[in-house]
Structures are given as structure tokens and as C-alpha cells.
Amino acid sequence: MGTMELRFQIYKMERFEELLQEGKLSEAEKFLQNLDQTNDNVLYCWGRLYSRKGEEAKALSFYSKALAVNPNNEEARVRLELANGIFTFRDPNLYNH
């Protein structure tokens, strides 16, 4: 990847982050649709978007896809582990009331 291409990749991820932080989820979704759907960072961003929408199962799927493309994507790995931890957490005391 050349320097210009790398800068463009960074710009795209920063733009996505801005849209996500501003709560412009439909705009963020349209933005992602125009990117390379085989790129692990794009797949990771889809996971972030779905997580933000409260669709954790879809988010998990995209974090897994990102890791399948690039097993070294630490952001996707951390998000996947956090989400799995939330889903597998069970407090038996919650069912005693």
C-alpha cells in the first residue's frame, strides 16, 4: 500500500468515526457501503455501526469477519471479546426475585 493510499484509508476511517460520534448512523451506513467490503477495517466499522444501533449479533458477525480477513486486527478482537463477555455473563441472583 502506497503512502497516498494509506492516507486515504486513514481519512475514510476518520470520516466514519465523525459520523458515528455525531450519531449520523444512516449517513455512516451509506458511507460504508461505498468502501471495499473485503477490507478488515471496513468490516470492523460495520461491527461498530451495528453495535451502536444495538444490533449486537450483527456486530459480532462483522467483528468475526474482520478477524477472518486479518487475524491481527486488534480492535476487532477486543470488541469481539467484550461483546462475547457481555453475552455470556449470567448472574443467577437476577433470577431469584
pTM: 0.82
Tell whether 62 is covered by a domain.
Answer: yes
Count the domains in the chain.
1
Tell whether 64 is covered by a domain.
Answer: yes
Tell whether 17 is covered by a domain.
Answer: no
Residue listed under C-alpha cell 449520523: 24
Tell whether 8 is covered by a domain.
Answer: no
Candidates 37, 46, 47; CA nearest to 69 is 37
Tell whether 63 is covered by a domain.
Answer: yes
Q: What digits encode the pLDDT tens for the residues 9-63?
A: 788 889 999 999 999 999 999 999 999 999 999 999 999 999 999 998 899 999 9
Position 93 scores a pLDDT of 62
Read out DSSP for the chain? --HHHHHHHHHHHHHHHHHHHTT-HHHHHHHHHTS-TT-HHHHHHHHHHHHHTT-HHHHHHHHHHHHHH-TT-HHHHHHHHHHHHHHH---GGGG--
Tell whether 97 is covered by a domain.
Answer: yes
Residue 87 pLDDT exceeds 60: yes
Tell whether 66 is covered by a domain.
Answer: yes
Domain that holds residue 63: 54-97
Q: What digits encode the pLDDT tens for the residues 66-78?
A: 999 999 999 999 9
